[in-house]
Structure 1
């Protein structure tokens, strides 16, 4: 597959993150910088997430993709990040595909409608880096170098 880099205005948009572990925390931290509203579905989350997101303290089920209070209505989520156990992530992908919601499975790059990039940001300048979902450490290293370059240019 060939992925096209696309920058989307997330200000005020709804994002669903399923899972409360390290990957979810990293992704939520990044997303919060872009002004989106985040709902996290997970039996447990760290204190940091509890203070910054709408937390549904529960295990994922398909109704989490629906608009709250309006069961059966189309999803309000612009995309879903599946960052739970691999078998849960696979169910999320299945459910999202049925509802035509873009989804990223943190445990299986072949089930991603998009990749979550490494981000280097300085003011309004944003650079996204991906290794095609194959080498997250390489993307993180490159992101760190680009962040340093942005700091150097800004001075």
Structure 2
């Protein structure tokens, strides 16, 4: 199995089920700016509040075959295995299908993930132990604090500045290696580095 990153922004997504697992899936999908519709006669308070706030669409009823029409991603998350099997059989035309219970008919695993701006880390155990995946994510939160968002932006900007510079390939690689030192998480050191590259013909420094 190969891991891929999928842009879900503005894509139509249907989540069938309204329990804790569905709430967790919706939370992730909302972060990815997907257009989420939840189909379930009952939902958690979290999902109800999201629907009332207009963040998601809630169809207060049981699943119908027409719900998978023109859907990019289908998340099957009811607490009944037979129901999930029936829904999966109707999802042949859906590009991406996630079965939260790990049953047959799905082709997508939704990993535990951590985002720090352009940095995105994800892990899945392919259903073997979601708790392990969650624990690893918690460890990443400590290992990669919020400062990494600005740090990765800094690396991105410097890389483009170096591309525009007359420096040799060896010199550029040297700079790229230097910037991987954890000390460059400090904003002051970032500015010193950007100024140094700029003075060597590395283009314009972006202002915050």
- TM-score category by the smaller chain? 0.7 to 0.9
| Partners of 2:61 and 2:100 in 1: CA distance | 19
TM-score by length of 2: 0.64
Aligned length: 143
* Separation in 1, partners of 2:115, 2:139: 12
Which residue of 1 is the match for residue 161 of structure 2? none
2:128 maps to what in 1? 134
Structure possessing the higher radius of gyration over alpha carbons: 2
Where does structure 2 lack aligned partners over 5 or more consecutive residues?
149-184, 186-208
Name the structure with the higher helix share: 2
CA–CA distance in structure 1, aligned partners of residues 36 and 146 of structure 2:
32
Greater relative contact order (CA < 8 Å, ≥ 6 in sequence) = 1
Structure-2 residue corresponding to 1:96: 91
Distance in 1 (alpha carbons) for counterparts of 2:102 and 2:86: 12
Q: In structure 1, how many angstroms separate the alpha carbons of the residues matched to 2:87 and 2:30? A: 22
Report runs of 4+ in structure 1 exceeding 4 Å deviation.
none
Please provide the CA RMSD for this pair: 1.6
2:116, 2:146 within 8 Å by CA — same for their partners in 1?
no
TM score, norm. by length of structure 1: 0.85
Provide the rounded CA distance (Å) in 2 between the counterparts of 1:34 and 1:114.
Answer: 16
Q: Which residue number in structure 2 is paired with residue 61 of structure 1?
A: 64
Unpaired stretches in structure 1, ≥5 consecutive residues:
67-74
TM superposition shift of 1:91: 1.1
Find the residue that maps to 1:15 and give its secondary structure: strand
CA distance in 2, matches of 1:101, 1:10: 12
Query: By how many angstroms is 1:109 displaced?
Result: 4.2
Contact 1:121–1:147 (CA under 8 A) maintained in structure 2: no
CA distance in 2, matches of 1:111, 1:147: 33
